[in-house]
Amino acid sequence: MTNERKSLVHKPSFINTIETNIAKHFSWHPNILSSIKLFILTPVFGYILFHSEKFIQVKALLIGLFLLFCLFDYLDGIIAREKGLETKFGRLFDRFTDYPLLLLISWYAIGEIPTYLIATKVIIDLLLFVQYAFTQGTTENRIRTTISYTVLLGMLAASQKWGEAWLKVEYVEWLLYLNILFSFIVILYNAKILQKRFIADTISGVNLLCGLGSIYFAYHDQLPMSLLLLILGGLFDGLDGAAARKWGGTRWGVYSDDVADGVNYGIAPGFALYFALGSDIVALSVGLFYTLFTLSRLVYFTLNKDDADPAYFSGVPSTAGGLIVLSSLILFADTPVLVGLMVGIAAIQMISFDTHYKHLGRAFSEGKKRYKFGLPLYSLLLIIGAFIWGINISVALLLTLILAYGFMPFYLHFKEILAK
């Protein structure tokens, strides 16, 4: 007999259909999949990790095994749910099989990453396991797992010194801090210490930390991490709205969300422009223009929220604008003209008030359309892609997707006019 678990993020119906079809065509019992994770994938992963000198393609092997582990972790859960095979033992065994991999990577990362951070993550994760075993509270497993696997991949990469040109240990430390903080929020909620109405504001606080971290890394000319924190901030921005709609909030909720958005997508990109373009008067003018422009847009929509359709943005959201700016600074650092072009495109799209853009964060949480599901998955794939293809390929893909999102309404409208 299983407990009903409440979820902050709704799963779209098409994903349920896919998972049902997967379960129909997969005859293995979920406990067998969990056993494969524990007794085959983890030992092989550990052997390669500790005897890397014996293998030629160590990076490909470890990443491949890591992704296979993630896949099996996903499959055992959906098969158990879809076939009605969920049991208390099965759920605990599934969760337990995650920890040997965590301990392996953590042990190997000691010396590259501060020991106190690694120990804190392990202890927090163990506390979550205890709560999972003895309470009925939600752990928002999809979100928690995505963040945790992203951090584990970063720890693995740091221990193996992959991508040293762009992946610095400091980046992984920040990811660990965010992972620990989010997990701690879950622990407080499960322990009924954190009241539901405070959850949205707490997540907005984590979002704000992402923005402050983005400014810090932009100052130190570490733009990839600055961009990554903005992406994570976008994830938390979607979660705080979902939490507010589900559980309510405080009277300060709307202001805390707006302050976090202003720092993340107005001030942080403005600082990044100033530092990256040379810290002179021209760079100051461009950065200040973008910051004031974006903050004015946020204030305008804050004052007009009552008349706005909550499912749509009028003009491209400031989240997209900030990501366009950071992505262009990484890709076109030696060509300021192209950076200026991207800043102009972001500004024009953000004030195209007559053009409506789907609210992806709300759609993600409510699950209305196919293309909105999986924001954490898309983010994880972009991060994994950086190790496989290189950081610039992942950033270029991200920029292309954002620009496509921004220009899509114009394209569809133009196509409609041509058809007439």
In this predicted structure, what is the pLDDT of residue 370? 44
Q: What is the pLDDT of residues 93-151, one digit of tens each?
A: 998 999 999 999 999 999 889 999 999 999 999 988 888 888 754 545 667 787 888 89
Both structure tokens of 283: 């760079």
Q: Indicate whether 1 pLDDT > 50.
A: no
Q: What angle do CA 322, 328, 330 make, to 5 degrees?
A: 105
A 10 A CB-CB count for 39 gives: 12
User: How do residues 150-189 score in pLDDT, each as one tens digit?
Assistant: 899 889 988 888 766 667 788 888 889 888 988 888 888 7
Which ranges of 110-168 does DSSP label H, i.e. alpha helix? 115-134, 141-160
- Measured in whole angstroms, the distance separating CA 324 from the mean position of its chain's CA atoms is 17
Q: Determine the pLDDT at residue 100.
A: 94
- Work out the mean pLDDT of the chain and round it to a whole number: 81
DSSP assignments along 356-391, one per residue: EEE-HHHHHHHT-SGGGS-HHHHHHHHHHHHHHH-H
Compute the average pLDDT of residues 346-373.
63
Residue 405: name the closest of 302, 324, 347 by CA.
Answer: 324
CA 408, 210, 201, 253 torsion: positive or negative? Answer: negative
Instruction: Give 129's contacts (C-beta < 8 A, 6+ positions apart).
Output: 95, 96, 99
CB 256 within 8 A of CB 308: no
Task: Count the neighbouring beta carbons within 10 Å of the beta carbon of residue 14.
Answer: 13
The pLDDT tens digits of the residues spanning 40-65 come to 999 999 999 988 888 888 888 998 99
H/E stretch holding 313 reads strand 312-314
Q: Is the pTM of this model over 0.85?
A: no
